[in-house]
Amino acid sequence: MTDGPTAHVGAGALRGTADGGIVRHLGVPYAAPPVGEHRFSAPAPVTPWEGVRDATAYGPGAPQAPYEGAVGEILPSVDAWGDDCLHVNVWAPRGAEPGSLPVLLWFHGGALVRGANSLSAYDGTAFARDGIVFVSANYRLGSEGFSVLEDAPLNLGLADQLAALRWVRREIAAFGGDPGRITVAGQSAGAGTTAALIAHPEAGRLVRRAIVQSGPLSAATPDRAGRITRLIAQDLGIPATRDAFAGVGPEDLVAAQHRAMAAGNPLAGGPAFSLAVDGDLVPRAPYDALRAGAADHLDLLIGTTLEEHRLWLAPGGADRALGWPLLALGSLRFGVGPATLRRLRSRRPGMSTGMLAGALVGEVLLERPARRVARARAARGAATHVFGFAWRSPVADLGAAHCMELPFVFDRLGTPGALALTGPDAPAELAERTHRAWVDFVRDGDPGWPSWAERPEPHVLDAG
């Protein structure tokens, strides 16, 4: 290995690649592989290496199953996963002075069971092009990352994210990043964990800003969060203990969790993985913590797409399987009255009962918490900007569905993954504007529209 830019971090030297003024270092470990004695344990330090480590190819993702059915035709899955999954990818402008540029640390979504930093949707080239050091991190998923076991720490996937944040704070100057100007961000499940991180006393001190895209702000009691773990243990015929789960191979654990989650439904309440209130990493639900003042010192950008539910219900006509009984169950579970249902229906007259049920879930789990957090922060003078992504894709009747903003945020229109979501005619001007809003927020805390205190309503991102 004689070509390519070299970066030096605490564990050793890294050889990356450079192309078009952008430097990439891929598959850089921030913690030891979570195998053997490290499985179902807190992330352990990286073992230093001799010589120059190859950082020219993506590393493996965490163990997971691919998306299935109609959704699987739209959302990409990880081709390769393996033991050495705790790593980051770094994109930076070539020639950046050490410690000179703002940093964006990204955590992918996937319901805490899918996703990886190697997916093309999270390519950080456009951010590096615009003067941001972009870092994407993997973390443990599913049973490996969010089980509730009798003799193992809770929220291991979140502990991984905190370890990645500490690594960025410690090492990012070597890639041109300023450790005092870190923005932590995520989408979907990655947004929920981002909210938990900024609510954590230590993590909140390590970052300057945060972006929470379409993320649940919830955390469950250990007993409730452990429901899925108990179902997996029952499926495998083992006790819900660290030793028992560590004795099961990752493939078998993934298969068991897939079977246990097969009957999951957000209206009925699960089963699914979630953050667990643990008194340490998650002392209280992020929603409660942020409303009470945690992270008020940070600039926050928070928002949703306007039709989150359509990703799960539009492809293949899945909404047709949801009728009035399930809508009634959801209304009862969430304490939602007729006025809210009328308002949701007014957004899209003629929507099916199933779509109305889905809109109810998006309202209660994502949109309403974001508004309430913004309102509470604004009352205390904490800088908060709110958005609603409204552009409607013609693909599979997706509309402004969950994940639709990603190709625009990353300025990746025209790539195969983006085309599966947006089709070929997505507005480039909206991608430029949306991406620029994120860049400007990371750089100086202003995405280009008034804060919630100045105008208490979401800024709508749409074509035109």
pLDDT at 1: 38
Band (451; pLDDT cuts 50, 70, 90): very high
Q: Is the pLDDT of residue 2 over 50?
A: no
pLDDT at 394: 96
Residue 287 is encoded by which pair of tokens?
């929603």
What's the CA gap between 298 and 211, in Å, rounded?
A: 10
Q: Is the pLDDT of residue 270 over 80?
A: no
3-state secondary structure of 461: strand
- Assess whether 331 carries a catalytic annotation: no
Q: Which residue has the tokens 């089709």?
A: 423
Band (368; pLDDT cuts 50, 70, 90): very high
What's the CA gap between 372 and 297, in Å, rounded?
A: 18
Of 144, 171, 308, 405, the catalytic one is: 308
For the ranges 67-81, 329-343, 397-411, which has the lowest average pLDDT?
A: 329-343
For the ranges 197-206, 213-222, 356-365, which has the lowest average pLDDT?
A: 356-365
Of 25, 309, 402, 459, the catalytic one is: 402
DSSP 387-416: EEE---B-GGG-BS-TTTTHHHHTT-TTSH
Q: Which fold has domain 6-295?
A: Rossmann fold (3.40.50)
Q: Is the pLDDT of residue 264 over 80?
A: no
Record the pTM.
Answer: 0.95
45-55 pLDDT, tens digit each: 999 999 999 99
Q: Which residues pair with 107 in a beta bridge?
A: 137, 186
Amino acid at 256: A
- Assess whether 77 carries a catalytic annotation: no
What's the CA gap between 31 and 44, in Å, rounded?
A: 6
3-state secondary structure of 173: helix
164-202 pLDDT, tens digit each: 999 999 999 999 999 999 999 999 999 999 999 999 988
Is residue 384 within 8 Å of 377, Cβ to Cβ? yes
The stretch 259-267 carries a mean pLDDT of 72
What's the CA gap between 281 and 234, in Å, rounded?
A: 27
What's the CA gap between 397 and 159, in Å, rounded?
A: 38
Q: Is the pLDDT of residue 340 over 80?
A: no
pLDDT at 339: 76
Of 118, 188, 214, 274, the catalytic one is: 188
- Assess whether 171 carries a catalytic annotation: no
End-to-end CA distance of the chain: 49
The stretch 110-133 carries a mean pLDDT of 97
Percent of the chain with pLDDT over 70: 94
Task: Determine the angle formed by the axes of helices 338-347 and 353-362, rounding to 10 degrees.
Answer: 110
What's the CA gap between 176 and 323, in Å, rounded?
A: 54
If one compares 14 and 464, the residue with the highest pLDDT of the two is 14
What's the CA gap between 401 and 348, in Å, rounded?
A: 13
Mean of per-residue pLDDT scores for the chain = 93
Closest CA to 307 of 359, 266, 369: 359
**Cis peptide leading into residue 98 (ω within 30°):** no
Q: Is the pLDDT of residue 214 over 50?
A: yes
Residue 252 is encoded by which pair of tokens?
């078998």
Band (80; pLDDT cuts 50, 70, 90): confident
pLDDT at 323: 64
